[in-house]
Amino acid sequence: MEELAQSPTEDGFPKEGFVSKGKPANAAVGDGASDDDEAAAITAIQKEGLTGRQLRMARRVAQKHGVAFGSDFEAVYRLRKAGIDPFKRSNMLELVGADGGGKPGSRSSANLPQTRPMPQLPANHVYDDADRARSIREIQLDIARRRRRKLRMLFVRLAFFVFLPTLVAGIYYYNYATPMYATKTEFVIQKADGAGGSGLGGLFAGSGLATSQDSITVQSYLTSRDAMLRLDGDIGYKSVFSDPDIDPIQRLDPDATNEAAYKLYKKNVKIGFDPTEGIIKMEVVAPTPEQSATFSEVLISYAEERVDNLTQRLREDQMEGAIESYEKAERDMLDAQAEVLRLQEEMGVFDATSDASALMSQITGFESQLQEKRLSLQQLLDNTRPNQARVDGLRGDIGRLETLIAELRGRLTETGGEYGSLASVSGRLRIAQTNLETRTVLMQQSLQQLENARIEANKQTRYLELGVRPVAPDEPTYPKSFENTLLAFLIFSGLYLMASITASILREQVSS
């Protein structure tokens, strides 16, 4: 409302003023209105060059305070004489009504809603079409002037906050930025294990998902401080970017810390991993093409070493376990063989089975002779007068054969000897020999596992295969002057837009 009160729009008041209290505007307003001092003061006010807006404001203030006046200049004079600032900015809500009454919030009956229209104060001047056109023209010119001023201020702010920084960035990228060369490389990690797996392991054995964990590990290692420090120790990464020929923005201080070098390393070594294909893409930036290619080759060798070391501990553990298993099986076999030898030496039996077979053969032979002797004795006894001497001899032979057979059978089954019966000795030897055979088979299996572990330990189960080899570029890759300048313009424009929106919101909140 204050802006509307101060704007040059038409407020409906005539420039010559109203008829005050039933008197004409050019009539005398008091007894001393014809004094020379008052006329001189009003003439001086006319020479001040007051604008129509100021005069109308003075008229409204005089109406508000109930000061009688005949013209706008006289209103200024009367207000100054009463000690009131005629040009004081006031709220439109505080302005008096058309009858010069109190504030709108007062309980005057003139300010209450009326059922009849309020009488219009007669004006001492009637606006014609020319005056209206002139007023409208002045309003339009003032609006255009303010718009031009706002546009000029807008262009000044844009030039200072957007165009000037963009120009500085463009000059740097086109004239001062040191050209950088980028070498691109692509490689994949392959798995050399057999494809004999089953289930989900066999399903993903030939895809990039089988080695995705190894690829992510290699990517993390190549972008780590360890790789940067190792690269600096091998070929001097810091010294390359500390060259005085490099512009100050991209140059690394000669006594730079590892953190500063690592920030530059992360910006110049870009590594990405494609999980669908399992391909690792690497881009290495350096001041010269040769240095860029050298950095790429060294980082690839680091990646190969890291890939080879991923399964080294597993292979070492497998080899160590196979050796321990073989040594234990060998000790058990030697102990079983020593037990068999001890039993053979203590019992005096080389092979209990052979001895038992020999005894059974003897017993069978002696039993055959015993049957023959019994038949011969029966044949002699069948005679009427047998030869007694021959009968007694046959009976003696039969008795001796029966005694011998009983002794031989007793050797097979008796248990009262030092080592027991031959069956007991045979059983103990058979158990010892069976244990020896079992330990021998286990030792052979452990030996086979040892050989397989040795083969796996000597074989590289993970290896790095290059899809795109590092080739030194012949043209600089960076800086991309146009793209970087455009990006700077967009960034500064976005910052200015955010700042201007924030300022306008704060201004609106404060003014409200």
pLDDT in the model for residue 425: 66
Percent of the chain with pLDDT strictly greater than 70: 74
56, pLDDT greater than 90: no
Which residue in the block uniquely carries the two structure tokens 């006329």? Answer: 39
Tokens found for residue 250 = 């991209």
- In angstroms, the CA 369 to CA 167 distance is 131
Q: Residue 20 in contact with residue 69, Cβ under 8 Å?
A: yes
Of 71-75, 141-145, 404-408, 486-490, the poorest mean pLDDT is in 404-408
Q: In Å, what is the CA distance from 50 to each residue of 36, 44, 55, 56, 58? A: 22, 11, 7, 10, 10
Q: What is the pLDDT of residues 180-232, one digit of tens each?
A: 999 999 998 887 654 444 444 444 444 545 567 888 888 999 999 999 999 99
Total residue length of the chain: 512
Q: How confident is the model at residue 101 (pLDDT cuts 50, 70, 90)?
A: very low
Q: Identify the burial level of 191 via C-beta atoms within 10 angstroms of its C-beta, where 0-12 means exposed, 13-18 middle and 19 or more buried.
A: middle
471, pLDDT greater than 80: yes
Q: In Å, what is the CA distance from 215 to each residue of 200, 231, 262, 267? A: 20, 20, 22, 21
381, pLDDT greater than 50: yes
- In angstroms, the CA 217 to CA 275 distance is 13
Q: What is the pLDDT of residues 390-438, one digit of tens each?
A: 888 888 888 888 888 888 777 666 544 444 455 666 667 778 778 888 8
Across the strands, what pairs with 350? none
pTM, whole model, 2 decimals? 0.51
Rounded to the nearest 10°, the torsion over CA 173, 177, 179, 181 is: -90
